């Protein structure tokens, strides 16, 4: 796979580059800043971009878009960054503390058309959802209407809609499907 690396730490870029080359991948470019990455990516033709969230001149998430494959690397497990990465179309969100074998495994899987967004396991309530919002989120994957969910939870339909609006805002989702995908990815609900 042709890979472009974006990280402001040379040691990280070189370590990733060496590990990826050893695994049979080709590094087609490297950048230490958002501006440098934008310039180089107008010429490079990578199949995958591995980008750090925190760059000296902005967020690496500003590069992420669904037209290309991205793996977002980060030092911390910030749920807002995770949600934003997912919303922008990243293929994966990987913590820098993970073993290199974990990243290499994800790189190998990203090309698979059945591959789904990968993220670290997080505690069940990283998004500050209330218990009632978690209840609504849990049954959201059933495909029931707001009226059916209200009847099941013994709530009014207006209350369910209020909970849904709050869930979307907290998860950074714009619709039910996105909310369920984010919830599944973050182990807020089980399949």
Q: What is the pLDDT of residues 13-22, one digit of tens each?
A: 999 999 999 9
Q: Evaluate the CA torsion angle 113, 63, 36, 76 in order and state its sign.
A: negative
Q: Considering the domain 2-110 in this protein, what is its CATH number?
A: 3.40.50.2300
Asked if 23 and 104 count as a contact pair (C-beta separation under 8 A), the reply is: yes
- Which residue spans of the chain are classified as CATH 3.40.50.2300? 2-110
Q: What are the angstrom distances between the C-alpha of 7 and each of 1, 51, 143, 170?
A: 19, 6, 41, 28
Asked if 171 and 83 count as a contact pair (C-beta separation under 8 A), the reply is: yes
The three-class DSSP label of residue 74 is strand
CATH of 131-185, one of 3.30.230.10, 1.20.1050.10, 2.30.40.10, 1.10.10.10: 1.10.10.10
Task: Give pTM, 2 decimals.
Answer: 0.64
Asked if 89 and 70 count as a contact pair (C-beta separation under 8 A), the reply is: yes
- Which residue spans of the chain are classified as CATH 1.10.10.10? 131-185
Question: What is the rounded distance in angstroms from the CA atom of residue 66 to the CA atom of residue 17?
Answer: 24
Which residues of the chain are under the pLDDT cut of 70?
77-79, 112-116, 118-126, 191
pLDDT number for residue 133: 87
pLDDT number for residue 134: 84
Nearest to 135 by CA among 159, 111, 114: 159
């Amino acid at each position: 796979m042709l890979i472009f690396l974006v990280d402001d730490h040379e040691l990280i870029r070189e370590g990733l580059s060496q590990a990826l080359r050893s695994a049979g991948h080709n590094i087609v470019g490297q950048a230490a800043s958002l501006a440098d990455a934008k310039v180089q990516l107008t010429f490079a033709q990578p199949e995958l971009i591995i980008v750090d969230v925190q760059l000296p001149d902005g967020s690496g998430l500003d590069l992420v878009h669904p037209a290309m494959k991205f793996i977002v690397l980060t030092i911390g497990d910030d749920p807002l960054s995770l949600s934003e990465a997912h919303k922008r179309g990243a293929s994966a969100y990987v913590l820098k503390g993970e073993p290199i074998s974990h990243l290499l495994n994800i790189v190998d899987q990203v090309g698979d058309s059945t591959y789904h967004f990968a993220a670290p396991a997080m505690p069940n309530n990283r998004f500050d959802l209330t218990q009632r919002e978690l209840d609504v989120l849990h049954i959201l994957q059933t495909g029931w209407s707001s009226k059916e969910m209200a009847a099941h939870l013994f709530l009014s339909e207006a209350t369910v809609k209020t909970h849904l609006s709050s869930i979307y805002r907290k998860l950074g989702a714009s619709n039910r499907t996105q909310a369920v995908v984010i919830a599944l990815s973050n182990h807020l609900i089980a399949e």
